[in-house]
């Protein structure tokens, strides 16, 4: 992860942190066994768009706590 002083603006830094947080949230959601199903002996994720939406919501909630 980059350091805050490596960014030119505060908004650029916050966008980076939001992306990083969303990626971390998405990893957590995908790793959760309750969200996985098995089909023909292969695992796949159910409703991946819901994962993405939930990850963004969690990242935004984190941003609100960090930067308000």
Q: Each residue of 11-22: pLDDT tens digit?
A: 999 999 999 999
Q: What is the pTM of this model?
A: 0.68
Nearest to 46 by CA among 58, 55, 35, 60: 35
Cα angle 60-63-64, degrees, rounded to a multiple of 5? 90
pLDDT of residue 7: 96
> In this structure, are residues 9 and 58 in contact, taking their beta carbons and an 8 Å threshold?
no
First vs last C-alpha separation in the chain: 21
pLDDT of residue 4: 92
How distant, in Å, are the alpha carbons of 5, 12, 55 from that of 27?
27, 23, 9
Q: Of residues 61 and 29, which shows the higher confidence score?
A: 61
- In tens, the pLDDT along 31-65 reads 765 656 666 666 665 666 677 888 898 899 999 99
Could you tell me which residues are beta bridge partners of residue 38?
A: 43
């Amino acid at each position: 992860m980059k350091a805050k002083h490596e960014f030119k603006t505060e908004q650029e830094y916050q966008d980076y942190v939001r992306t990083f947080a969303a990626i971390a949230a998405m990893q957590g959601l995908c790793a959760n066994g309750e969200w996985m199903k098995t089909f023909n002996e292969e695992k796949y994720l159910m409703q991946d768009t819901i994962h993405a939406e939930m990850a963004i919501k969690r990242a935004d909630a984190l941003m609100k706590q960090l930067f308000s």
